[in-house]
Structure 1
Amino acid sequence: MKHAALLALVLVGGCKFSPLMNRITVGEEPFAVVVGEGPDGRTDLFAVSAGGGLVTQLTFTVPIEIGPRLTRDGGVLAFIRMRDTLATTPHEVVVMNLVSGGERSLPLPADAGQAAQVGWSDDETTLYVRTDRGVWAVPAPPAAPDARAVAVGDAAADTALTLWLGTPRFARAVRCDSAICAITARGDTARLTPTGHDPLRWGTDSVAWFDGDVLMIRSLGPGSPRRMTWSQPPKHPRDGAYAKGVKPATTP
């Protein structure tokens, strides 16, 4: 029921069909969303099936979109939108329903600061927003977006805004110099790759990252990384998010 309510967010100036129609089965198929530059040179969001293939452009706006974060089944995407990269330009927190294409802006208080990162709570009823002045919790649609300040060290907020790996979570992925490392709760550190940037959780048992313009994926266990085979990717892909989808119920 919570997820059904989340998908019922109000349409605001968007299309009334899935922007991924005939490309990705939203809510069932695993896929990723990444930031990149399209043919027009503008910074937009792009989607690709977890198995690779043709990349689909999600947004076609003049403003810049960054920081995508998907709900687990991929039905809803949260991100940050801004007119330009000037320090004084307002940053807007947006949620997009990938089933309908509808969008809703989630306003923050005037003194909240500039939004820099978003992350979903475990039950996906709250979107946490890190700004340059602190962390805020905003109820997810269709609830009223009444933002509240979050205390430093709040466990739910820290979990939502940290890149945790594995199920159950056992380590967080961080950039360490030019490499990417996994750090456990005890502080043990393991290097996942000697080069790379913008790591992202890839399902329950894998991690992905960008190495230049290439998306690499590897198991958290033994094995070598594999390269995503995709066509028509954006320029400078980066800053991605993954949704595992939900297998459709089968009838006996």
Structure 2
Amino acid sequence: MVFIQKGNNPLLAVKAFVQGIGLLGNPKLRKFVLIPVLINFLVYGVAFALGYLYLADIIDQFIPGWLQWLRWILWPLFFISFFIAGFFTFTVLANLIAAPFYGMLSAAALALLSGESATITEAPWPKVIKAELNRAAYLGSRAIPLVILSIIPGINVLAPVLWALFGAWGMALEYLAYPLENAGILFSEQRKLIGGVRWGALSFGGLAAAGLALPLINIIVAPAAVIAATIYVREIETDNAR
């Protein structure tokens, strides 16, 4: 499989995302959407509760006494950075739990888009979990430098921007993986394909990350992103095949 450069167009990613949201209520996809929505509701509910109770105290611990006069600058920067890091962690966890259902959702969406009546089979859980852990390890190893940067006064002014870019790239890798895995493409090849349409992928991942950061709305964004990723991949791969 090869992605054409048309995939670099951010508008194509936006269009796919809008279409993905529109298909959430389709009767043929409804049963594949319900369980991930319930999983997201539980995971994000726990994340919100933990963040509300502990995040402010954790942030305050990273501000030494001699920098109290800079609190009005440092506190918002720490808050933004650690909020994004925490949100990303819980998103990975939610996707890890819901991954088998997302694979089936992507397959059902592709069948719907193709006008075919496909039989949706459940992928082996060990294989699905292994793929999720590989992505988590890849992203986690690259998040460590950002965490370190986030706690260094002065330098951490760049942290929110870098976290935003990292989150967009991570979400692109996460959601575009489902249609690609259904096509038999492994993670190492997925990175090459997605890297070839980096601007479109970052736009797609940025939309997903922005939606996942919105309370309540984030519960339905993940399955919408899976459907949108299936649309996006089909569009740029199908055009290539013509």
TM-score relative to the length of structure 1: 0.26
In terms of fraction of residues, the more helix-rich structure is 2
TM-score relative to the length of structure 2: 0.27
